[in-house]
Structure 1
């Protein structure tokens, strides 16, 4: 990760929810790793990986909405919305390929 990003001076409403989701995803990944170690069927493993991808996408959507509702609103109030919009465009370019 780059050190160019700033520490936020405001709270994200969904931070706890995002952390909880990431913890569940982390546990799910460990479970799939264990399935692989145990030699479980490939279709079962792929199904679980698909579920993890969907969970990650849903978490990313939540982060994006939270960003719009907190960071973007805060940026408009502080007059630096163009910078925040550019940062989000870069993030989206990396996320959606």
Structure 2
């Protein structure tokens, strides 16, 4: 990764919201793990796992939107092709697994 200087554009409130989303997803995943340990019904485990995955995907989308609205705007203004290229690669990776 190259060292971009646009770190300071992240809104602390938005970051907090994303951290909260991740904490919720982690908590949710922990409860799925307990379900498996307690030998709960497979169907129920899969349904909960799907919910966790969906929460993670939504968090990814939120991060993406935030990144586009802050960092990429500045990258375009600065003519920072590299930042745009990196975002494209990140989107490809993210979409592949969703």
Q: Provide the TM-score with structure 2 as the length reference.
A: 0.86
Bigger helix share: 2
Structure 1 unaligned segments of length 5 or more: list them: none
The structural deviation recorded for 1:96 is 1.5
Structure 2 unaligned segments of length 5 or more: list them: none
Alignment of structure 1 residues 42-81 onto 2, 5 Å: 42-80=42-80
CA RMSD of aligned residues (A): 1.4
Alignment of structure 1 residues 1-97 onto 2, 5 Å: 4-6=1-3, 8-13=6-11, 14-80=14-80, 82-97=81-96
Alpha-carbon distance in 1 for matches of 2:68, 2:26:
26
Paired residue total:
93
Q: Provide the TM-score with structure 1 as the length reference.
A: 0.87
